[in-house]
Amino acid sequence: MKFIGVRILSPEPAETAARLSEKLQLPCETAGDDYVVGAPGCEIRFTKGDIAAPQEAQEGYYVGLQHLAFNSTDLPASVKLCLEHGTELTNGEAISYNPKIWGTGMNYVNPVCPDGYGLEICQRLDLPAAPMRGMTCGMEHIGIPVRNLEESIAWYEKLGFKAGSVVLNHRDSDNADIHCAMLEGDGVILETYEFQHMDHEPFANQSFHALRFAGEKDEVLTGPNGEIIEVTAA
């Protein structure tokens, strides 16, 4: 299989796509009835569809497709560009740190997104920093909170993914233990993470609808957290 991108549902796909395009300064074009925001390494396709009201619960309670994380090789510069452009970040100019991932951790910020899915811009600290021209340089990972990390790793390994970095982090701010695995394969990285000591429910009819791949035949798979995998014959 080869990763194509993601499908996001919206009652107003033109407006929702335009908001993301404007927020991250990425190109947007129509594709039939859909609207496609292009990021290197990922086609973000917005399709008309009704979605449930946002589900409010503690982070890590709902599982399934959750956030789009874009890559930066110079996160302070990305933050500066965001703020100059008027792209609001959840913590202002403060940069958060996710320790241990890829050995040396990852810095990240979260652009505010009102459309039922999460946004992140992140910089891997194990890779060399480099100057950038835009806010991001493409897709870095897809964030999927999961019900059971081992079960999710096993399911994605059957699809050809490999666990590249597996860590257990304790977050002091809310005393959460988060077990995380970065799964690499098929042209995409999936950040699967389990909030431990917590009941989990899949998102119901949410906006972040599916991961899309080109493969041998048309099929739709449902992952262990309710995530939908659309495969289209290449």
| Cα distance between residue 113 and residue 79, in whole Å | 16
φ/ψ of 154, rounded to 5, equals -60, -40
The 181-210 site mask, x for binding Fe ion (CB under 5 A), equals ----------x-------------------
Q: How far is the CB of 7 from Fe ion (least distance, A)?
A: 19
Nearest to 2 by CA among 154, 136, 161, 226: 161
Residue 180 near Fe ion by CB under 5 A:
no
Of residues 67 and 200, the one with the C-beta less far from Fe ion = 67
Of residues 191 and 194, the one with the C-beta less far from Fe ion = 191
- Residues contacting Fe ion: total by CB under 5 A: 4
Q: Which residues of 57-72 are buried (b: 16+ CB within 10 A; e: fewer)?
A: eeebebbbbbbbbbbb
Of residues 89 and 231, the one with the C-beta less far from Fe ion = 89
**DSSP at 69:** E
Residue 69 near Fe ion by CB under 5 A:
yes
Q: How far is the CB of 15 from Fe ion (least distance, A)?
A: 25
Nearest to 70 by CA among 44, 51, 49: 44
Sign of the four-CA dihedral 120, 124, 128, 129 = positive
Of residues 60 and 143, the one with the C-beta less far from Fe ion = 143
Residue 111 near Fe ion by CB under 5 A:
no
Segment near Fe ion (CB under 5 A); pick from 45-53, 114-122, 166-174, 210-218? 114-122
Q: How far is the CB of 141 from Fe ion (least distance, A)?
A: 6
| Cα distance between residue 106 and residue 108, in whole Å | 7
Of residues 47 and 66, the one with the C-beta less far from Fe ion = 66
The 157-176 site mask, x for binding Fe ion (CB under 5 A), equals --------------------
The 128-147 site mask, x for binding Fe ion (CB under 5 A), equals ---------------x----
Please work out, in degrees rounded to the nearest 5, the angle formed at the alpha carbon of residue 138 by the alpha carbons of 28 and 59: 95
| Cα distance between residue 175 and residue 108, in whole Å | 20
Residue number closest to Fe ion, CB atom: 143
| Cα distance between residue 71 and residue 184, in whole Å | 15
Q: How far is the CB of 19 from Fe ion (least distance, A)?
A: 20
| Cα distance between residue 233 and residue 143, in whole Å | 25
Contacting positions for Fe ion (CB under 5 A) = 69, 120, 143, 191
